[in-house]
Amino acid sequence: MSLSPAVVIGAGLVGASVGCALTKAGHRVHLEDRNASHVQVAAGIGAGTSEPAVPDEVRLVVVAVPPAALAAVIIDALDRFPRATVTDVGSVKAGVLNALWDSGGDVTRYVGSHPMAGSQFSGPLTAQADLFHDRTWVIAPHRKSSAAATQDVRDLVAACGANEVIMDVDIHDSAVARVSHVPHLMSVLMAGHLNEVPVEQLQLAGQGLRDVTRIAGSDPDLWEQILGANSAAVLPELRAVQHQLDTLISAIESDGTAGAQAHAVLAHLERGLAGTRRIPGKHGAAPVQYRQLVVEIPDAPGALSRLFADVAQAGVNVEDISIQHDPDRQVGYLSLAVAPDQADALVGSMTDAGWAIGDSDPSSDSAG
Amino acid sequence: MSLSPAVVIGAGLVGASVGCALTKAGHRVHLEDRNASHVQVAAGIGAGTSEPAVPDEVRLVVVAVPPAALAAVIIDALDRFPRATVTDVGSVKAGVLNALWDSGGDVTRYVGSHPMAGSQFSGPLTAQADLFHDRTWVIAPHRKSSAAATQDVRDLVAACGANEVIMDVDIHDSAVARVSHVPHLMSVLMAGHLNEVPVEQLQLAGQGLRDVTRIAGSDPDLWEQILGANSAAVLPELRAVQHQLDTLISAIESDGTAGAQAHAVLAHLERGLAGTRRIPGKHGAAPVQYRQLVVEIPDAPGALSRLFADVAQAGVNVEDISIQHDPDRQVGYLSLAVAPDQADALVGSMTDAGWAIGDSDPSSDSAG
């Protein structure tokens, strides 16, 4: 079943990467973007052509524009390309669908989707055909989606080398509310509270604060669009967290007045610990407890290179890595996560090479 | 002014490191710990002697035991060592002090302190004399602390090579509540909510969720002690965040019904962004906006080594680094933070060496 010719609307990283993957799979791709330079760059790296498509011939349209523009662009695409299946790659699905119901357009040809990849880079320059290779790509048909349209999107996902996950629209939106949007808001609340903290007190901040608040540094305009599109799914989750916060505050207020209340605070802490263990590990595998090793490393050009050369010499695969900067000293601490059965070999080899290496508590915080 | 002989009670990482620093500075140190093997290990690396001190001779006692045990051990130390200045390295100060007032002991010889270092490692094995070198060490005298006792603790901080910060007990406790304890609880609340999320939905989790929930993986028993000791300072901060959460929920509920309300959500997001920018940068410097570059890196032994060798070849200093694992693919993405004026040189050099390197949005989340 051919997807040619296809149109990709929005030639940013995700759109251009879809174009590259479809082109590589032998399909003809026409690129559109309000920003003409994006189309040129994307065409230059093999994402498709900047020439306009013949509307009646188009078989597939992939809409990859910012959240707030999605519904209007999809409605317009259903109208402009009367024989095409139309999908999008937006991170929220229900709101767009509601707008489509009201539009009077041929919604049977629309099937939403959401590739779990892409926003780490931005712009078409870093687009690549294998961006979605082996990634999860959620397909969210609605009750009037035609079987043919759903099949076209499945073919798109297959052409991009991604792993399809068919998910109900509401379940998808609830899932991203839980694993992405609510965590984002918790980070925002914590970071926002720092505006009340005197600067001299912020000198006591450690890595834990930096981790919790990192994603609050994201573009507020983009997130306003995402949250506006998913408020129905975000609200019940946020209210559940609000309830937990209320009970936590009550537990802390009562702490020390009764033994049973102290256990209420501990119960929150243990519930949090249990929650962290539910997050899947690397490569979608079950959570693995890696052994965390810590090496002190001078803050100088070449030091990391020498360190990793010595790690490589040990023949050990580093599963994860992070650097915690000392706020005052010219050194950092490098945490290396390795499989438990490889840790002793690495410690021996690194010690022989002159590094100070030891076990760490991966979750502790120097400002604790 | 001599601090010899000194006694260190609690030979974990922090206590043993204090012992090493004092020993290196020429002072005699006696080590105590409920765990005899900790004393042996600490003595073996030069932290002091396992032989008991002569009580009347002891000039300084450093108490480095878990939070819940602090007050009792300090009271006992004031009694056992009648001529010694007694300090502790606990992360919360007011509760201990209140217990001391009630004890009837000689509180004029007690001055609390808090070195901002140490809990990244655990146990005496990785103790080192320079653990506190150039780190912040808060000294928190109380209204009855003698000038001589305060001077002894200042001498201790100087002997450890740390930078003293004299801070009121209540201000210290409020500061750690804001930059450490409340962030910890926000992480715990978010992680705890994951217990309500079906496992298949957690497959959509990205790096943002992992960052926000990382410190919730810490030891619940230790944190129950910390929070119990600092509930008075934590509660008003937590209530302020609770209030912000309430207004955020109201803003999201009203979103779409009035233009002004949409701006309320945006205001929260912008307040969060502003908060992240207040956190001091590396080495206590003012916050710096580094340029974030991203390199795709195969998940294989030696790949990181080759990558860093090429980074070193470029002669560019890497300011910060993180790896985001693709949950499904056998690759990772390595983010490199470099000074803006060095970024183009690095991109050119790395591209020449065959790496796919590009700018990234450091705060974006693939699950967004």
Rounded CA separation B151/B70 (Å): 22
Per-residue pLDDT in tens (0 to 9) along chain B, 368 residues: 589 999 999 998 899 999 999 999 999 999 999 988 788 878 877 899 999 999 999 999 999 998 889 999 999 999 999 999 999 999 899 989 999 999 999 999 999 999 987 543 456 666 788 889 888 899 999 999 999 999 999 999 999 999 899 999 999 999 999 999 999 999 999 999 999 999 989 988 877 898 999 999 888 988 999 999 999 999 999 999 999 999 999 999 987 555 555 589 999 999 999 999 998 864 444 555 678 888 877 766 667 667 766 776 777 766 666 666 555 555 667 777 787 878 888 888 888 888 888 886 533 333 33
- Judge if B138 and B38 occupy the same domain: yes
In angstroms, what CA-CA distances link A65 with A129, A331, B133, B151, B211?
19, 43, 51, 64, 27
**CB atoms A249 and B239 under 8 Å:** yes
* Beta-carbon contacts of residue B67 (< 8 Å; ≥ 6 apart): B90, B91, B92, B222, B225, B226, B228, B229
- Judge if A10 and A153 occupy the same domain: yes
- Please say whether the beta carbons of B228 and B94 come within 8 A: no
* The pair of three-digit structure tokens given for residue B262, joined into one six-digit string: 């949409």
Residue of B33, B27, B86 whose CA lies nearest to B55: B86
Tell the burial category of A208 from Cβ atoms under 10 Å away from its Cβ (0-12, 13-18, 19+): buried
Best probe of the B interface among A114, A157, A207, A223, by most B CBs < 10 A, is A223
The structural domain count of chain B equals 3
Best probe of the B interface among A178, A257, A270, A321, by most B CBs < 10 A, is A178
Q: Does B349 contact chain A (CB < 8 Å)? A: no
Interface ipTM = 0.73
In a domain, A193, yes or no: yes
**CB atoms B186 and A120 under 8 Å:** no
Domain of A17, CATH number, reads 3.40.50.720
Rounded CA separation A162/A284 (Å): 14
The predicted structure's pLDDT at residue A105? 92
**Contacts with A187 from chain B: Cβ below 8 Å:** 186, 208, 212, 272
- Nearest-Cα distance to chain A for B25, in Å, is 20
Nearest CA in chain B to A215: B363
* The pair of three-digit structure tokens given for residue B244, joined into one six-digit string: 């912000």
Rounded CA separation A282/A277 (Å): 13
The predicted structure's pLDDT at residue B97? 94
* Beta-carbon contacts of residue A134 (< 8 Å; ≥ 6 apart): A161, A162, A163, B328, B329, B330
The predicted structure's pLDDT at residue B362? 36
The predicted structure's pLDDT at residue A135? 82
- Please say whether the beta carbons of B181 and B226 come within 8 A: yes
| A33-46: pLDDT as tens digits | 998 778 887 887 78
Q: Does A352 contact chain B (CB < 8 Å)? A: no
- Judge if B97 and B246 occupy the same domain: no
The predicted structure's pLDDT at residue A367? 34
Q: pLDDT-derived band of residue A121, with 50, 70 and 90 as boundaries?
A: very low
Chain-centroid distance, C-alpha A22: 23
| A286-316: pLDDT as tens digits | 555 678 888 877 666 667 667 766 776 777 7
In a domain, B136, yes or no: yes
Rounded CA separation A54/A270 (Å): 60
- Judge if B163 and B177 occupy the same domain: no
- Please say whether the beta carbons of B6 and B115 come within 8 A: no
- Bridge partners (DSSP) of residue A139 are A113, A166
In a domain, A365, yes or no: no
Rounded CA separation A235/A5 (Å): 41
Q: pLDDT-derived band of residue A124, with 50, 70 and 90 as boundaries?
A: low
- Please say whether the beta carbons of A16 and A132 come within 8 A: no
- Judge if A263 and A341 occupy the same domain: no
The predicted structure's pLDDT at residue A2? 82
- Judge if B152 and B49 occupy the same domain: yes
- Nearest-Cα distance to chain A for B352, in Å, is 16
The predicted structure's pLDDT at residue A257? 59
**Contacts with B234 from chain A: Cβ below 8 Å:** 252
- Judge if B257 and B301 occupy the same domain: no
In a domain, A283, yes or no: no
H or E element, residue B209: helix B207-213
- Partner residue opposite A197 with nearest CB, options B178, B272, B329: B178
Of B276, B300, B335, which one is at a domain's C-terminal end?
Answer: B276
- Classify residue A180 by its DSSP letter: I
- Please say whether the beta carbons of B50 and B40 come within 8 A: yes
CA atoms within 13 A of residue B328's CA, in its CB half-sphere: 22
Rounded CA separation B120/B113 (Å): 19
**CB atoms B363 and A305 under 8 Å:** no
The predicted structure's pLDDT at residue B283? 42
- Judge if A272 and A314 occupy the same domain: no
Give the A:B interface size as CB pairs under 8 Å: 537
Rounded CA separation B143/B152 (Å): 16
CB atoms under 10 Å from CB of A83, counted, come to 10
Nearest CA in chain B to A292: B121
Greater pLDDT, A23 or A347? A23
Rounded CA separation B243/B90 (Å): 30
Q: Does B176 contact chain A (CB < 8 Å)? A: yes
The predicted structure's pLDDT at residue B286? 53
Nearest CA in chain A to B212: A212
Q: Is the pLDDT of residue A193 over 70?
A: yes
- Nearest-Cα distance to chain B for A341, in Å, is 15
- Nearest-Cα distance to chain A for B109, in Å, is 26
Lookup result for tokens 């994006």: A38
In a domain, A334, yes or no: yes
Q: pLDDT-derived band of residue A284, with 50, 70 and 90 as boundaries?
A: very low
**Contacts with B215 from chain A: Cβ below 8 Å:** 208, 211-212, 363, 365
- Judge if B125 and B46 occupy the same domain: yes
Q: Is the pLDDT of residue A233 over 80?
A: yes
Label each residue of A56-76 as H, E or C: HHCCEEEECCCHHHHHHHHHH
**Contacts with B185 from chain A: Cβ below 8 Å:** 248, 268
In a domain, B161, yes or no: yes
**CB atoms B227 and A328 under 8 Å:** no
Identity of the residue numbered B69: A
Q: What percent of chain A has pLDDT over 70?
A: 83
**CB atoms A193 and B133 under 8 Å:** no
Domain of B343, CATH number, reads 3.30.70.260
* Beta-carbon contacts of residue A263 (< 8 Å; ≥ 6 apart): none
CA angle B75, B81, B82 (to 5 degrees): 90
Rounded CA separation A185/A220 (Å): 11
The predicted structure's pLDDT at residue B341? 79
The predicted structure's pLDDT at residue A149? 97
Instruction: Name the B residues in 122-151 with CB < 8 Å from any A CB.
Output: 122-123, 125-126, 128, 133-136, 138
In a domain, A222, yes or no: yes
In a domain, A286, yes or no: no
**CB atoms B136 and A204 under 8 Å:** yes
- Please say whether the beta carbons of A209 and B179 come within 8 A: yes
- Judge if B353 and B316 occupy the same domain: yes
Q: Strands of B48-199 (E only): list them.
A: 60-63, 85-88, 112-115, 136-140, 163-166
Instruction: Name the B residues in 17-76 with CB < 8 Å from any A CB.
Output: none
**CB atoms B219 and A268 under 8 Å:** no
The predicted structure's pLDDT at residue A119? 44
Of B139, B167, B195, which one is at a domain's C-terminal end?
Answer: B167
H or E element, residue B249: helix B231-254
**Contacts with A195 from chain B: Cβ below 8 Å:** 271, 274-275, 278
| A318-327: pLDDT as tens digits | 666 666 655 5
Please give the residue range of the domain that contains residue A217. Answer: 173-276
**Contacts with B328 from chain A: Cβ below 8 Å:** 116, 134-136, 163, 283-284
Identity of the residue numbered B301: P
Q: Does A305 contact chain B (CB < 8 Å)? A: yes
- Nearest-Cα distance to chain B for A231, in Å, is 6
Domain of A179, CATH number, reads 1.10.3660.10
**Average model confidence (pLDDT) across chain A:** 85
Ranges of H-type helices in chain B: 13-24, 36-44, 67-80, 94-103, 147-159, 169-176, 182-193, 199-202, 207-213, 220-229, 231-254, 259-276, 303-313, 340-352
Of B167, B190, B221, which one is at a domain's C-terminal end?
Answer: B167
- Judge if B147 and B240 occupy the same domain: no
For strands A60-63 and A29-32, give the pairing.
Answer: unpaired
- Judge if A339 and A233 occupy the same domain: no
